[in-house]
C-alpha cells in the first residue's frame, strides 16, 4: 500500500511516463528547479535533467508552440500552463492549431500532447486565477478533456493521456492537491471515457467532476445518514470522451438526476449532460434534471 497526495501523484505520473518512453518530455514555466508553483513537479529535474524537463520564459504561446511542434515531429510532450485561466493567452494555438491539425492534415499528422493545468477556485488566488474552464475545451472538436478527482485517478488518467494519439487537456484541481489516498498499486491505467461510481444509491443520480465529485460523495453520505436518501454519485473523470452509457444506466435506475458543476451556469457541461439525459432517458425520468452551479447573478434574467 502507498499513500499519495494528489500533488505527489502528478509528479509520479509524469515520472512514470518519462521512464517508460524516452520520447516523453516536460516543458513549462518554473516546472524544473522550482518544482512547480504548486510543488507538483518536485524531483523531475533531478531525475531527468534539463534536456527533458525544460523551464521556459513566461510565455504560454511559446510553451504550447514548442510543444505542438515537438508532437508533430514525433515526440510526446507534457506541457504545463500554470493556471487554466492562462489558456486564454494561447487559446488560438489550442483551439485553432493543436485541435485541428489531424483533421487539416487528413490524418497524416497526430498531436500526442498533454496540456496540464491547474483549474478551479477555492484557493484564494483571485478571480483571474480561480476559474473552472473545462467548458472552454469541451466544445472544441479534436480535444480530449480530463479532470481527475483523486490521486489514483491522476495516475491512471495521465498514463492514458500520455499514450493517446490526440491532444488532451488535463485539468488538475488546485483545491485537491493536498488530498490523500491509499493505493494498492501506483501502476495504474484508466481508459479515457470511463467514469467512476463514488457512492452507490437508487434514489437519485448525482453527477460531478473533480472537486465537485468529491463534494457530491460527501453530500451523498450525509443524505444517507441524516435523511435515508440513497444517492448514486458518478465521477465523470473525462468530459471528452464522455461515458454516456454509465450515465444512462444510472438514470434509468434512479429516475432522478442532478449535475454539480463548479462552472458558471450559462453553457456549463451540466447543460449538455442534461440534454443528453432528456434525449436518451426521458421515459424513465421522474422529474426534470436539476443543475447545481456557480451562480451568474448578472445573467440571471437571461436564464430564468
- Both 33 and 76 in one domain: the answer is yes
- Both 179 and 242 in one domain: the answer is no
- Both 64 and 204 in one domain: the answer is no
- Both 178 and 268 in one domain: the answer is no
From 183, 205, 221, give the residue that closes a domain. 183
Domain region containing 50: 2-183
| 188 within some domain | no
| 299 within some domain | yes
| 298 within some domain | yes
The per-residue pLDDT for 264 is: 87
162 and 17 in contact (C-beta within 8 Å)? yes
| 262 within some domain | yes
CATH, residue 150:
3.40.50.970
| 150 within some domain | yes
CA-based nearest residue to 170, from 3, 28, 58: 28
Residue 83, judged by CB atoms within 10 A of its CB (0-12, 13-18, 19+), counts as: buried
Q: What is the pLDDT of residues 76-85, one digit of tens each?
A: 999 999 999 9
| Intervals of the chain under pLDDT 50 | none
| 55 within some domain | yes
- Both 179 and 210 in one domain: the answer is no
From 158, 183, 208, give the residue that closes a domain. 183
From 162, 183, 204, give the residue that closes a domain. 183
- Residue 52 grid coordinates: 527533458
| 189 within some domain | no
The per-residue pLDDT for 295 is: 77
- Residue 282 grid coordinates: 426521458
- Both 31 and 98 in one domain: the answer is yes
| 191 within some domain | no
- Both 172 and 239 in one domain: the answer is no
Q: Phi-psi bin for 137: left (phi > 0), alpha (psi -120 to 50), beta? A: alpha
Cα dist from 281 to 46, 149, 194, 251, 278, whole Å? 52, 27, 20, 7, 6
The per-residue pLDDT for 279 is: 96
CATH, residue 218:
3.40.50.920
81 and 28 in contact (C-beta within 8 Å)? yes
135 and 267 in contact (C-beta within 8 Å)? yes
3-class secondary structure, 204? strand
Number of domains in the chain: 2
Q: Phi-psi bin for 296: left (phi > 0), alpha (psi -120 to 50), beta? A: beta
- Both 217 and 112 in one domain: the answer is no
pTM above 0.75?
Answer: yes
DSSP states along 144-201: EEE---SHHHHHHHHHHHHH-SS-EEEEEEGGGTT-EEEES-S-----TT--EEEE--
Q: What is the pLDDT of residues 257-300, one digit of tens each?
A: 999 999 888 889 999 999 999 999 999 999 999 999 987 655 55
230 and 203 in contact (C-beta within 8 Å)? yes
- Both 163 and 203 in one domain: the answer is no
Quote helix, strand, coil % in the chain, to nearest 5. Answer: 40, 25, 35
Catalytic (active-site) positions: 129
The per-residue pLDDT for 96 is: 97
- Both 139 and 208 in one domain: the answer is no
Amino acid at each position: 500500500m502507498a499513500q499519495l497526495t494528489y500533488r505527489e501523484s502528478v509528479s509520479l505520473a509524469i515520472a512514470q511516463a518519462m521512464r517508460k518512453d524516452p520520447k516523453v518530455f516536460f516543458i513549462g514555466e518554473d516546472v524544473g528547479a522550482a518544482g512547480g508553483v504548486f510543488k507538483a513537479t518536485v524531483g523531475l529535474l533531478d531525475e531527468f535533467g534539463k534536456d527533458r524537463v525544460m523551464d521556459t520564459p513566461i510565455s504560454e504561446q511559446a510553451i504550447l508552440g514548442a510543444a505542438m511542434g515537438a508532437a508533430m515531429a514525433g515526440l510526446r510532450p507534457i506541457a504545463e500552463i500554470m493556471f487554466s485561466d492562462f489558456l486564454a493567452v494561447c487559446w488560438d494555438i489550442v483551439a485553432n492549431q493543436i485541435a485541428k491539425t489531424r483533421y487539416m492534415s487528413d490524418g497524416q499528422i497526430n498531436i500526442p500532447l498533454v496540456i496540464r493545468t491547474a483549474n478551479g477556485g477555492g484557493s484564494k488566488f483571485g478571480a483571474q486565477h480561480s476559474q473552472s474552464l473545462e467548458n472552454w475545451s469541451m466544445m472544441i472538436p479534436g480535444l480530449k478533456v480530463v479532470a481527475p478527482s483523486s490521486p489514483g485517478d491522476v495516475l491512471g488518467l495521465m498514463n492514458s493521456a500520455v499514450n493517446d494519439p490526440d491532444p488532451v487537456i488535463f485539468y488538475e484541481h488546485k483545491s485537491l492537491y493536498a488530498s490523500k489516498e491509499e493505493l494498492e498499486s501506483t501502476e495504474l491505467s484508466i481508459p479515457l471515457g470511463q467514469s467512476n461510481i463514488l457512492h452507490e444509491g437508487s434514489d437519485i443520480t448525482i453527477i460531478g467532476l473533480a472537486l465537485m465529485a468529491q463534494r457530491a460523495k460527501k453530500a451523498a453520505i450525509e443524505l444517507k445518514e441524516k435523511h435515508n436518501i440513497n444517492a448514486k454519485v458518478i465521477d465523470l473523470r473525462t468530459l471528452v470522451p464522455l461515458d454516456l452509457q454509465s450515465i444512462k444506466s444510472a438514470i434509468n435506475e434512479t429516475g432522478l438526476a442532478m449535475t454539480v458543476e463548479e462552472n458558471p451556469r450559462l453553457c456549463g457541461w451540466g447543460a449538455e449532460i442534461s440534454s443528453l439525459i432528456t434525449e436518451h432517458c426521458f421515459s424513465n425520468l421522474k422529474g426534470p434534471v436539476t443543475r447545481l452551479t456557480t451562480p451568474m447573478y448578472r445573467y440571471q434574467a437571461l436564464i430564468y
